[in-house]
Amino acid sequence: MKKLMLIAFAALACSCFAAAISPPSTAVATRLPDEKQEPYWAGKGFWNRRHAAKLAEIAVGPKEYDCVFVGDSITHNWEGWSDPIDVVKVTRQYEIGKLKFPNGPGRKVWNEMKEKYRLLNLGVGGDSTQHVLWRMENGEMDGYRARCVMLMIGANNYQPAEDVVAGIKACVDKIAEKQPQAKILLSPIFPSKHEASHPRRLFENRVNAAIRLFADGKKVIWVDFNARFLEPDGTLAPEMMPDFLHPLERGYRIWQKAVEPYLVTAESVWIKGAEKEMNAFYGFSATFEAQNGDK
């Protein structure tokens, strides 16, 4: 009897220990449920269709990309929603909200960039960190080499801040595993909500302050242009993001301006070229020397 009690206690202790070290849900690869039926949601099965379409695009696409963009609907909106079912549903979302929001507000900018660079868009509307992880583990990071991978994720995560940070770290690590030669361009979660003091904005600020520490200036580069979205008083204008979440074309122009310096081909000019452009863009001296250990 005593021996059985010891065995039971040991088993309980092991299970408690395992639970204590289990990663948060944000860092566990998970499919996005397709059964969401809200009136504003994209067509049933859109997530599977988008994933399948991207695998097909990768299969016939180039074997090397200048940059792969990974994220949620904000990244997805670079090229817009192509499936007819999804276009109808997404358009209805903004009709319900009485917002003037085109399908694919970044499409014009994206097409301009694609004339100069080999780009792949791996953004999917509604994704959180765990869904991005699943897609990267299931083919979307295979079959090609990327010189840069740009990651902006977390806008749909509403777990505790430390769990969201863990999820973003898991995404960074997965990119490094799948594309070891690539520079990872890590962006903060874009600002949302109108007021700078809104609890969600403060939450985003906490997450962003933590994930910034993942950047070493060599493998992982911190690319932060959030201030360009905001008014001088820190508010977010509807002319920039009509729903205070998704940028219009002018927001994608800002993104383009920030990312293009990193897309030059010559590795020798990569940092210095980006430094020059970023200095001109922001109007102050960039900190590439500090990030890269240059003296």
Give helix 107-114 / helix 249-259 axis angle, nearest 10°.
Answer: 30
Please identify which of the residues 142, 197, 216, 243 carries the catalytic annotation. Answer: 243
**Pairing mode, if any, of strands 145-146 and 220-222?**
unpaired
> Catalytic residue at 243?
yes
Please identify which of the residues 51, 76, 131, 246 carries the catalytic annotation. Answer: 246
Please identify which of the residues 73, 128, 187, 192 carries the catalytic annotation. Answer: 73
> Catalytic residue at 25?
no
Tokens, residue 35: 């059964």
∠ CA 195-222-182, rounded to 5°: 135
Cβ contact 227:237 at 8 Å = no
- Whole-number Å distance between alpha carbons of 244 and 99: 11
What are the φ and ψ backbone dihedral angles of 91, each rounded to 5 degrees?
A: -60, -40
List CB contacts of 261: < 8 A, sequence separation 6 or more: 273, 274, 276, 277, 278
Cβ contact 93:44 at 8 Å = no
Comparing CA positions, the residue from 270, 295, 113 lying closest to residue 181 is 270
> Catalytic residue at 15?
no
Which residues are paired to 119 by β-bridges? 67
What are the φ and ψ backbone dihedral angles of 151, each rounded to 5 degrees?
A: -115, 125
CB contact burial 203-238 (16+ within 10 A = b; e otherwise): bbbebbebbeebbebeebbbbebbebbeeeeebbee
Residues taking part in catalysis: 73, 243, 246
